[in-house]
A and B are shown apart, each in its own frame.
Chain A
Amino acid sequence: SQQGEEDPQALSIQEGENATMNCSYKTSINNLQWYRQNSGRGLVHLILIRSNEREKHSGRLRVTLDTSKKSSSLLITASRAADTASYFCATRPQAGTALIFGKGTTLSVSS
């Protein structure tokens, strides 16, 4: 079953613009992670935020977490054509349990 639900399902922007993707989840979590997948390829880990953290940065990525609303957002600043991919949020309900993925947001960045 899906734990996370990303919004929007698809996003098209121009190079240089910012892209924001949102994720809502249902149960309490130990941590929330974001992954990227190029078409038909494996997933690549981008960033992890723990339940006691509210914001995290990594390069052009900024992730926020609001546990009271059970939601997270991923911001990609100054998007590039190479950022075109699907982005998934994944939650780990408890330490040691499986990572559960959402349905993803497909980002298209045109030059």
Chain B
Amino acid sequence: ETGVTQSPTHLIKTRGQQVTLRCSSQSGHNTVSWYQQALGQGPQFIFQYYREEENGRGNFPPRFSGLQFPNYSSELNVNALELDDSALYLCASSSGLAGGIGGELFFGEGSRLTVL
């Protein structure tokens, strides 16, 4: 158990809809990173939030957006859903941009999104 919680765990949407995924970071962590993991692939970096500001973004279109709140929890929003957005969305928290002393990320169990 990492202390990072994500909701919902599973959801089904149709193409064109919008989705919001939520993440509560581990206590004491001020950085949240979001990853998309397609079936059989490694996690792909979407973006990272540090102290409520976006700090780094991967190769994802603007319809992927996010927020980080003062309590360091975070949301990932995806607009105009496409079939290829079907994936496991992983949130990871850490202390500081470099991942704190250990440099490691603490992952939640993910939100499985299916787009029909």
Decide yes or no whether B107 CB sits under 8 A from chain A. yes
* Given A40-B88, A99-B33, A101-B43, A92-B103 contact (CB < 8 Å): yes
**Would A1 and B97 count as touching, CB distance under 8 A?**
no
* Given A45-B104, A98-B48, A88-B110 contact (CB < 8 Å): no
Sorting the interface of chain B by its residue count into under 10, 10 to 19, 20 to 34 or 35 or more gives 20 to 34
* Given A95-B97, A95-B98, A96-B97, A42-B109 contact (CB < 8 Å): yes
Q: With a 10 A CB-CB cut-off, give which of B59, B90, B105, B108 has the most chain A CB atoms.
A: B105
**Would B48 and A101 count as touching, CB distance under 8 A?**
no
Chain B, residue nearest A96 (CB)? B97
The DSSP consensus for interface residues of chain B is: loop
**Would A48 and B35 count as touching, CB distance under 8 A?**
no
Chain A, residue nearest B91 (CB)? A42
- Chain A window 81-102, contacts with chain B (Cβ cutoff 8 Å), 1 for yes, 0 for no: 0000000100010011111111
- Chain B window 81-102, contacts with chain A (Cβ cutoff 8 Å), 1 for yes, 0 for no: 0000000101010000111001
**Would A1 and B2 count as touching, CB distance under 8 A?**
no
Decide yes or no whether A31 CB sits under 8 A from chain B. yes
**Would A42 and B33 count as touching, CB distance under 8 A?**
no
* Given A43-B107, A44-B107, A103-B42 contact (CB < 8 Å): yes
Chain B, residue nearest A2 (CB)? B42
Specify which chain A residues have a CB less than 8 angstroms from the CB of B107 in the assembled complex: 35, 42-44
- Give min CB distance, B89 to chain A, whole Å: 11
- Chain B window 34-66, contacts with chain A (Cβ cutoff 8 Å), 1 for yes, 0 for no: 010000011111001000000110110000000
Decide yes or no whether A41 CB sits under 8 A from chain B. yes
